[in-house]
Structure 1
Amino acid sequence: MPVEIEKNPKDQPSWRKPIGMIFILFLILLWCGIAVTLIDHLDGLNFWIQLPIYIILGIVWIFPIRPLLTWMNSGSFRHPPENKENGASDET
């Protein structure tokens, strides 16, 4: 006897994840291009001036990625509202 499976809209694949992954790759390539362009200008600077610049360049690219990851998972660029009963979010 075949069993019918109810289809829930949440079970459907989302188009946001593949689009988000492509956009993340584009942002990383763009950021690498910016960093490589800056290398020529930073090459003549003292090591102690270069060090914080490279640390900042290595960390700053993450900030635009976080809202994009949130959008890929929830459909909103902000975190989904918290469930007040158990302290967990609606999307798990």
Structure 2
Amino acid sequence: MVDDQGEVHHSDAPTLVTGRKWNPTAATHQAKSDVRHRDIIGIVQQGRGGLGLGESRPSWHRAAPAQRQRLVVEEVSRQEQETRCAKAVSQAKQGQ
């Protein structure tokens, strides 16, 4: 990760070529931004369940580097799943 406190130099990071339009660096920056934004907003109520019903997530500023990496990976996965669902919903029904 870029935020790692080790001896890895940022300029030495390899450029990942995925063969798609998806850019891993941009996706990581967007995921970090979204996780920080969600940390600022806090826990919100969803539906009629109330505030304490959902699972709690570790906050970004209190998380250890390993937890931060896990949060970013989960956020990238969540964003990709949202993209897939939006694409599936936008496709016309076939066979009618």
Q: TM-score, normalised by structure 1?
A: 0.36
Q: Report which structure shows greater RCO (CA 8 Å, sep ≥6).
A: 2
Q: TM-score, normalised by structure 2?
A: 0.35
Larger Rg belongs to: 1
Q: Normalized per residue, which structure has more helix?
A: 1
